[in-house]
Amino acid sequence: MAEDWARPVVAWAVQSREPEKIRAFYSQMFNWEIGDGPNMLVPAGIGGPEPGPIGLITKNDASRIVLYVQVLDLAASIEKAKTLAGSLIAPPFDVPGGPTIAAIADPEGNVLGLVQQ
Protein backbone atom coordinates (compact mmCIF):
# COMPACT_ATOMS: atom_id res chain seq x y z
CA MET A 1 0.00 0.00 0.00
CA ALA A 2 1.26 3.49 -0.84
CA GLU A 3 2.29 5.84 1.96
CA ASP A 4 -0.70 7.71 3.33
CA TRP A 5 -0.98 11.44 4.06
CA ALA A 6 -3.34 13.82 5.84
CA ARG A 7 -6.73 13.10 4.30
CA PRO A 8 -8.82 15.97 2.84
CA VAL A 9 -12.46 16.79 3.55
CA VAL A 10 -14.06 16.22 0.14
CA ALA A 11 -17.72 16.86 0.96
CA TRP A 12 -20.06 17.94 3.73
CA ALA A 13 -23.78 17.73 4.37
CA VAL A 14 -26.28 19.50 6.59
CA GLN A 15 -28.91 16.93 7.53
CA SER A 16 -32.18 18.40 8.72
CA ARG A 17 -35.70 17.50 9.80
CA GLU A 18 -36.87 20.53 7.76
CA PRO A 19 -34.46 20.85 4.82
CA GLU A 20 -36.40 23.65 3.06
CA LYS A 21 -36.15 25.80 6.19
CA ILE A 22 -32.43 25.09 6.48
CA ARG A 23 -32.00 25.79 2.75
CA ALA A 24 -33.57 29.22 3.21
CA PHE A 25 -31.32 29.97 6.20
CA TYR A 26 -28.04 29.06 4.49
CA SER A 27 -28.94 30.65 1.14
CA GLN A 28 -29.73 33.96 2.86
CA MET A 29 -26.94 33.75 5.43
CA PHE A 30 -24.12 33.10 2.96
CA ASN A 31 -25.64 34.07 -0.43
CA TRP A 32 -25.47 30.42 -1.56
CA GLU A 33 -27.36 29.31 -4.67
CA ILE A 34 -28.66 25.97 -3.41
CA GLY A 35 -30.18 23.42 -5.79
CA ASP A 36 -33.52 21.64 -5.53
CA GLY A 37 -34.45 18.03 -4.82
CA PRO A 38 -33.76 15.51 -2.07
CA ASN A 39 -30.01 16.28 -2.21
CA MET A 40 -29.79 20.06 -2.48
CA LEU A 41 -26.39 20.75 -4.01
CA VAL A 42 -24.39 23.62 -2.54
CA PRO A 43 -21.62 24.55 -5.01
CA ALA A 44 -18.21 25.78 -3.87
CA GLY A 45 -18.16 29.51 -3.21
CA ILE A 46 -16.13 32.22 -4.90
CA GLY A 47 -12.62 32.77 -3.60
CA GLY A 48 -12.20 29.43 -1.83
CA PRO A 49 -9.76 26.68 -2.75
CA GLU A 50 -10.55 25.03 -6.06
CA PRO A 51 -12.48 22.97 -6.74
CA GLY A 52 -13.77 23.09 -3.16
CA PRO A 53 -15.67 20.35 -1.37
CA ILE A 54 -19.19 19.59 -2.55
CA GLY A 55 -21.99 20.41 -0.12
CA LEU A 56 -25.51 19.04 0.29
CA ILE A 57 -28.62 19.71 2.35
CA THR A 58 -30.62 16.53 2.93
CA LYS A 59 -33.62 15.38 4.95
CA ASN A 60 -32.88 13.34 8.08
CA ASP A 61 -34.59 12.49 11.38
CA ALA A 62 -31.80 14.23 13.29
CA SER A 63 -30.19 17.60 12.61
CA ARG A 64 -26.42 17.37 12.22
CA ILE A 65 -23.48 18.28 10.05
CA VAL A 66 -21.55 15.45 8.43
CA LEU A 67 -18.02 15.70 7.02
CA TYR A 68 -16.96 13.33 4.26
CA VAL A 69 -13.25 12.53 4.35
CA GLN A 70 -11.36 10.87 1.51
CA VAL A 71 -9.41 7.76 2.54
CA LEU A 72 -6.86 5.60 0.78
CA ASP A 73 -8.29 2.26 1.96
CA LEU A 74 -11.96 2.23 2.98
CA ALA A 75 -11.92 -1.18 4.72
CA ALA A 76 -8.73 -0.41 6.64
CA SER A 77 -10.10 2.99 7.69
CA ILE A 78 -13.27 1.38 9.06
CA GLU A 79 -11.21 -1.08 11.09
CA LYS A 80 -8.95 1.72 12.34
CA ALA A 81 -12.01 3.70 13.50
CA LYS A 82 -13.17 0.66 15.50
CA THR A 83 -9.78 0.38 17.23
CA LEU A 84 -10.06 4.06 18.18
CA ALA A 85 -13.46 3.54 19.90
CA GLY A 86 -15.43 4.56 16.81
CA SER A 87 -18.18 2.49 15.23
CA LEU A 88 -19.54 1.58 11.80
CA ILE A 89 -22.84 3.33 11.04
CA ALA A 90 -23.33 2.36 7.37
CA PRO A 91 -21.29 -0.31 5.56
CA PRO A 92 -19.63 0.58 2.26
CA PHE A 93 -21.94 1.22 -0.67
CA ASP A 94 -21.53 2.57 -4.18
CA VAL A 95 -23.04 5.96 -4.97
CA PRO A 96 -24.55 5.71 -8.48
CA GLY A 97 -22.09 7.41 -10.80
CA GLY A 98 -19.86 8.29 -7.85
CA PRO A 99 -17.51 6.86 -5.26
CA THR A 100 -17.84 4.08 -2.69
CA ILE A 101 -18.60 5.48 0.75
CA ALA A 102 -19.25 4.27 4.29
CA ALA A 103 -20.29 6.03 7.49
CA ILE A 104 -18.63 5.80 10.89
CA ALA A 105 -19.21 7.50 14.22
CA ASP A 106 -16.46 8.95 16.37
CA PRO A 107 -16.33 8.05 20.09
CA GLU A 108 -18.94 10.76 20.88
CA GLY A 109 -21.31 9.72 18.10
CA ASN A 110 -20.45 12.37 15.50
CA VAL A 111 -21.01 10.91 12.05
CA LEU A 112 -18.25 10.94 9.43
CA GLY A 113 -18.52 9.77 5.85
CA LEU A 114 -15.50 7.92 4.49
CA VAL A 115 -14.99 8.27 0.73
CA GLN A 116 -12.81 5.74 -1.09
CA GLN A 117 -10.10 7.57 -3.02
52-80 confidence digits (pLDDT tens): 788 889 999 989 999 899 898 999 999 99
Residues 92, 101 contacting (CB under 8 angstroms): yes
Say whether pTM exceeds 0.85.
Answer: no
pLDDT for 76 equals 92
Residues 21, 27 contacting (CB under 8 angstroms): no
Buried/exposed 50-67: b ≥16 CB within 10 Å, e otherwise: eeebbbbbeeeeeeeebe
Quickly count: other Cβ atoms within 10 Å of residue 19's Cβ: 21
Write down all domains in the chain, each with its CATH number in brackets.
9-116 (3.10.180.10)
